[in-house]
A and B are shown apart, each in its own frame.
Chain A
């Protein structure tokens, strides 16, 4: 039982961490709490759902398609909306909330509020510790780990990654030394869109696809979304674990409320976030 809860927690936590990684990149560089990622999360789930059920595409192609759609939407939103109000954070915030409403209500209008069941793409699993760890869950862990490593290497090793780190530390100085802030912004939004889409497509087969599915993961990701890549990973996984174990051993009704206490306690001791900036 406890092992099952731990695995469930890690899997959900991995999805929080994925969204959080993108949100955190966007937030640290553009100062936008990008709520619209919650909408992209929903759209990506539907894209993959229709790709699998209507177009009968293999799951991993559907995942790639959803990632592409997610990054394109994210890129367009930054290019044509957020960019317009650079420097006035309140307006960007208002726009972000409006976009989130627009995308998730668009999903209700197009596809009704009814939950759709994502067909299983892999059957079976590995029996361990008295329960069966399904292959679909293993895929979530594997793909998230892979993406985390890719993003980490990208930020640490490439020239663009260095520019992103520089811009997250000090935007003005980064511009002064010749970093093209426009392309850095576009890049983090593309990465953010791809990561939120991946999180959503990986999780949908385990739960369901419905227009309100983006609300809670988005909020959770904001909690995990602090500091460095390692901080995001620990934050996301930690929150997933606490929720999963807490829902069994403390109270299922407050599962989505634990985040408040975790956040308050963590921030008491680390008021600047867990691990500093990207």
Chain B
């Protein structure tokens, strides 16, 4: 695993800009960038199951929501501190994904995709209707900010911004190491030819459930970050629209590339935010834009990047 220095320039610039944002930008911009970062982690973790391993899923928004509610309820009702609730929410969603994924992943492609769709919708209904626990359509309020740690007070906007940035960088690095590892190669072998990789002795069922659960667990952690940054939760944030959005972000960026979905998520969030001036035109403009992009470069953003590099005489 050799990483060329040249390839680190662009990520370094992005990280530098992200580091500077709380110093330079307004509060509104900080909120938008936080959303973009959260979506980027979601899309990156989504890429692990759907991009690298293959099965199409439509329930990432539900994992995100489960993590957010688990973490918020643990702090609000069980008195956990954020630093316990955060890993706990990741573990809860990981186990949940394993329990759902174990039977569901035996289904062949389309049936599995549809099942995840309904799993996502079911979770949304649970969040909406278990009023005693989740406060239902009223949403959860007054979720505590992370308690002070190493003398850092996370009630300050910039401190909690940096917390999410650090979490995001760690998540991306770990996902990157995972997809580059032997396990990552096994996942790709399942995507490319499931029967064949089973024939050479790969326990495909196990690795598919593993990828699904890790992917869900990271989404759960992201949800926890969301809950304690914005400090209020509403079930509609995690309705099926969010899951669709993650799918679109990953596809726009180019699946199976990890960085593609992450960049795609950033760009899609920023574009949607920029179009707030025309709320009723927002989705129309951007669905037309997606279709146009597909006509021009079907491989997504990473396809365009690859094409530019080839054009400059570089190699992919």
Q: Is the beta-carbon distance between B298 and A272 smaller than 8 angstroms?
A: no
B284 in contact with A106 (CB, 8 Å): yes
Contacts of B125 in A (CB 8 A): 253-254, 256-257
Q: Which residues of chain B are within 8 angstroms of A260 by Cβ–Cβ distance? A: 115, 118-119, 121-122
**Residues 120-131 of chain B, each 1 if its beta carbon lies under 8 Å from chain A, else 0:** 011001101100
Q: Are B115 and A264 in contact (CB under 8 A)?
A: yes
Q: Mark B270-283, 1 if CB is under 8 A from A, else 0.
A: 00000000001111
B115 touches A91 (CB 8 A): no
For residue B284, which residue of chain A has the nearest CB?
A: A105
Encode contact with B along A155-190: 1 for CB under 8 Å, 0 otherwise: 000000000000000000000000000000000000
Q: A226-B111, A264-B115 are in contact. Are A85 and B294 (CB under 8 A)?
A: yes
Please state if A33 and B284 are interface contacts (CB–CB under 8 Å): no
Question: Are B122 and A257 closer than 8 Å at their CB atoms?
Answer: yes
CA distance A90 to B51 in the complex (A): 10
Enumerate chain A residues within 8 angstroms of B111, measured Cβ to Cβ: 226, 267, 271, 273
Give the residues in chain A near B287, CB-CB below 8 Å.
98-99, 101-102, 105
A223 contact set on B, CB distance < 8 A? 114, 118
A268 interface residue (CB < 8 Å to B): yes
Q: Does A97 contact B (CB under 8 A)?
A: yes
Chain B residues with CB under 8 A of A105: 280, 282-284, 287
Which single residue of chain A is at the shortest CB-CB distance from B291? A98
Could you mark each residue 288-316 of chain B with 1 if its beta carbon is under 8 Å from any beta carbon of chain A, else 0? 10110011001000000000000000000
With A109-B281, A109-B284, A260-B121 known to touch, is A271 a contact of B115 (CB < 8 Å)? no
The A interface is mostly helix, strand or loop, or mixed, namely helix
Cβ of A81 within 8 Å of any chain B Cβ, yes or no, is yes
Determine if A142 is an interface residue (Cβ-Cβ < 8 Å). no
The interface centre, meaning the residue of B56, B118, B129, B247 with most chain A CB atoms within 10 A of its CB, is B118
Determine the chain A residues whose CB is within 8 A of the CB of B291 once the complex forms: 81, 95, 98-99, 102
Residues of chain A in range 237-270 having any CB-CB distance to chain B below 8 Å: 251, 253-254, 256-257, 259-261, 263-264, 267-268
Interface residue? A79 (CB, 8 A): no
The answer, yes or no, to whether A222 is at the interface (CB within 8 Å) is: yes
Residue A53 CB within 8 A of the other chain: no
How far is the CB of A176 from the nearest CB of chain B, in Å?
23
Query: Which chain A residues border B298 with CB–CB below 8 Å?
Result: 85, 88, 91
A225–B183 alpha-carbon span in the complex (Å): 35
**Those of B119-176 within 8 Å (CB) of chain A:** 119, 121-122, 125-126, 128-129
State which of A108, A109, A257 has its C-beta within 8 Å of the C-beta of B121. A257
Stretch in contact with the other chain, from B24-32, B36-44, B89-97, B101-109: B101-109
Query: Which chain B positions have C-beta within 8 A of A91?
Result: 251, 294, 298
CB distance from A104 to the nearest CB of B (A): 9
Is the C-beta of A76 less than 8 angstroms from some C-beta in chain B?
no
* A:103-123 near B, CB below 8 Å: 105-106, 108-109
In the complex, B77 has a CB within 8 A of chain A: no
CB of B2 closer than 8 Å to a CB of A? no
Contact call A264/B104, Cβ cutoff below 8 A: yes
Interfacial chain B residues near A93, Cβ < 8 Å = 56, 247, 251
Q: Give Cα A108 to B281, complex, Å.
A: 10
Within 8 A of A (CB), among B220-279: 240, 244, 247-248, 251-252, 255
Is A219 among interface residues, defined by CB-CB distance under 8 A?
yes
From B129, B248, B288, A97 is in contact (CB under 8 Å) with B248
Q: Is A27 an interface residue (CB 8 A)?
A: yes
The reply to whether A219 and B117 form a contact with Cβ atoms under 8 Å apart is yes
Taken together as a complex, chains A and B put the C-alpha atoms of A97 and B252 apart, in Å, by 12
Interface residue? A143 (CB, 8 A) = no
Pick the residue among A97, A257, A272 that contacts B108 (CB under 8 A): A272
**Could you pull out 11 A-B pairs where Cβ atoms are within 8 angstroms?**
A27-B110, A33-B114, A94-B247, A98-B287, A102-B291, A219-B117, A219-B240, A223-B114, A259-B121, A260-B122, A264-B115
Per CB-CB distance, the 6 closest pairs between chain A and chain B, nearest first, are A260-B118, A102-B287, A253-B129, A260-B122, A105-B283, A98-B287
